[in-house]
Structure 1
C-alpha cells in the first residue's frame, strides 16, 4: 500500500507484527488460516500471500480500508479457532488483556498468538501480560516496536477466565449507563462533553445528528431536554461504542444509529448537528484536520439556517473553517481549556 506521495504507508507496529514470518522465526500455517484481531490495512499485508487470513476491526475507517483492499473483514463476532491469531492490542490495559485472553481461546490448544505494540505505547507491559497468561513468550524488536508470541502453553486458567471479561459491558456512574473499558471516556463524562452539556441550547428542533456520538451521552441529553427534536441520528465510527449507545438509548424510538466514518460525509440533511469531534487518530499527536473535516461535513449536511453546536479544545485552529463555512459563529462558553461554539449556516 502506498500513499499519494508514492511512499510506503507508515505503520511500524503492523510491519513489525509480520517480522517473525519475514525472518523465518515463525511459519504461516499451511492449513486452518489465521485470525487478525484489531486488524489494520497496510503494505505488509500485501507484500506476500497470507492464505486464509480473516480480519476483524470495529473502527469504521480501518474496516473500510481493509475492505477496499479486498481482505475479508468483519466488524466483530468472528468465532472459531485458528492455528494463528494475530493481535494489534489497544492502549487501554483491561481491553488489551481481554483481547489477549480471547486470542488464546481462539488459538485453541496448539495455536500461536502473535502481538505487536510500539515501545512507547506499552509494549513491555503487553509482553509481560501475555507471558503471565500463556507462559514464556518469544520476542523480536524493530522500529521501536516489540513483537512477541506464545510458545509451549502454560496457560493460567483462572487468570484466563478473569481476563476474558475485563472489558465486558457494565453499568457505570449512577448505574443507568452502560459502558466498557476501551471506549472513549468509558467510566466518566469527559470534561469537554460536560461543558457542552452545560451549555446545550434547549431550543434545538427538527431533525438532528450527533457526529462522533460515542456511547450516546450527548444524544441522551438532547432527546431529554429538547422537546421539539423529532429525530436524532447518532454517527459513530467505533462499533463497540455504537452498540452501547443502542442499549443506552433503547427507549428512544426516534433515535437512529449509524456505524459510519463521518469524514467520508453524510448522505442526508439535518436541521441541527451537535458534536464533540475527535482530535486524535492512532497516534497521540493532535490531529486538527479531523476536527476541521467534521466541521466541513456538518456544514454540508445542514439545511439553510441549520445550527451546529460543538465543543473543542481552545487551542485547536477551527476558527477559519467555521468562519468560512457558516454565516454566524459565536462562542457560548469557554472553560477548562475547551470552548463551546454555535454556528449557523447561511
Structure 2
C-alpha cells in the first residue's frame, strides 16, 4: 500500500522523528527493514538511510524513488534500525531479533504496526527482547522504540526467535517452507486443484507465474515428463529462495531458471505452457483482481501461438473478460471448493501487451 493511498503505518513510523521525540542519528547510519516507498520517506532528508525489501514491487518502487537499497546478507550494524513488521508473528519476531542484531551499540530499534495487525503484541514482543519500550499511537497504528541498546536483553530468546523464521520441512517433508510466504505451512487448496487437473501431455518450455515456494512447478515437472525447461517467476525473494531447494531434484532433467520479478511488469519469453495461481492481494487484504488480470495479459503475450495457460482462481474473481479478449479458446476445466481451473489456448494472432 502506497503512503499517498493511505499508508498510515509508514507515516506513523516516522512520527517520532518529525515531532522531536527521537533524534535522527548524526552518524552511524540507519537501516529500514521491510521498507516501503511513499511521501513520508521523502518529507525531509534522512541521512545515511539504507532500505531493505524482499518483495520486488516494493523494492522497484524504492529504487525508482532514489532510495539506497541494501542486501539481506549484509551484516553491517547501524545506529538506527526501522522496522515495518509483517502480520505473521513468527516472521515478525524473527525480524525483531534481526533488527537488534543489526543495531550498533548505543543504537535504537523503532517499529510500527497497525492496531488491527497486532500492534500490542508486537510492542510486547520487542520489549521481551530489548527491555522497556516507549510508544506513540496515531492513525490507528502504534510506533514503538527501544532505549539505546547493547545487544538483546534476553539473548536466549533472541536466538530462539531468530530461528522462528528459518526454512523447515512441511507436508511430511515433501517441501521446505518458512513463515510469512504464501500458504507457508501447507499446500494451497487452489494450487492443489490446478495440479490435479494438469494433463500429462503438456510439453516444451514452461513458466510458473507467481511460483511461491515451488509447489506448482514441482507438480508440473512430476506429472509432465515432456517439459524440457521451466522458468519460475516470483516477487517475494524469501519464497523464491525456497523454490531453489524444492526444485533441486529436477535440475539434472530440466533446464531451470529462477527470476525475482514482478510479473505485472511483463516477462520475456516464448513458452508452450504457463501455469499460474495469480495473487489477488498486494500486501494488504483488499481484493485486487487487477493483478490477476495483468498476469493473464502477460501470460498471453509470453505464450507461443497455440501455447496453453493453466490457471486457477477464486470463482468470484472476474477474469473471464480478460481471458476471452486475450485467448482464442477458453475452457473451465473444473469448479470445486470455491475455485475454478481454466485452460486457455493462445490463438495464432500475436497478442499485444
User: Which residue is 1:275 aligned to?
Assistant: 276
Q: Deviations over 1:273-293 (max 9, x none)?
A: 001000111211111111011
User: Which residue is 1:205 aligned to?
Assistant: 203
TM-score of the two chains, using structure 1 as the length reference: 0.96
Distance 1:70 1:283 in 2: 24
SS of residue matched to 1:65 = helix
User: Which residue is 1:339 aligned to?
Assistant: 340
1:212–1:235 Cα contact (<8 Å) kept:
yes
User: Which residue is 2:162 aligned to?
Assistant: 164
1:32 alignment partner, one of 16, 24, 28? 28
Shift of 1:79: 1.3
For 1:113-124, what aligned pairs fall within 5 Å after superposition? 113-124=109-120
Shift of 1:75: 4.7
For 1:88-167, what aligned pairs fall within 5 Å after superposition? 88-151=84-147, 153=149, 155-167=153-165
Shift of 1:263: 0.2
Query: For structure 1, which runs of at least 5 residues remain unmatched after alignment?
Result: none
Shift of 1:174: 1.6
User: Which residue is 1:316 aligned to?
Assistant: 317
Distance 2:297 2:169 in 1: 35
1:36–1:54 Cα contact (<8 Å) kept:
yes
The alignment status of 1:304 with 2:302, answered yes or no, reads no
Shift of 1:78: 2.6
2:128–2:154 Cα contact (<8 Å) kept:
yes
User: Which residue is 2:213 aligned to?
Assistant: 215
The alignment status of 1:230 with 2:228, answered yes or no, reads yes
User: Which residue is 2:79 aligned to?
Assistant: 83
SS of residue matched to 1:207 = strand
2:8–2:141 Cα contact (<8 Å) kept:
yes
Distance 1:90 1:285 in 2: 16
1:265–1:297 Cα contact (<8 Å) kept:
yes
Q: Deviations over 1:199-234 (max 9, x none)?
A: 112111111100000011010111111111110100
Query: For structure 2, which runs of at least 5 residues remain unmatched after alignment?
Result: 348-353
1:135–1:152 Cα contact (<8 Å) kept:
no
Shift of 1:331: 0.9
User: Which residue is 1:248 aligned to?
Assistant: 246
Name segments (4+ residues, structure 1) moved above 2 Å.
7-10
TM-score of the two chains, using structure 2 as the length reference: 0.94
- Please identify, of 145-154 and 313-322, the stretch whose mean Cα deviation from structure 2 is larger: 145-154
Shift of 1:269: 1.6
Shift of 1:80: 1.3
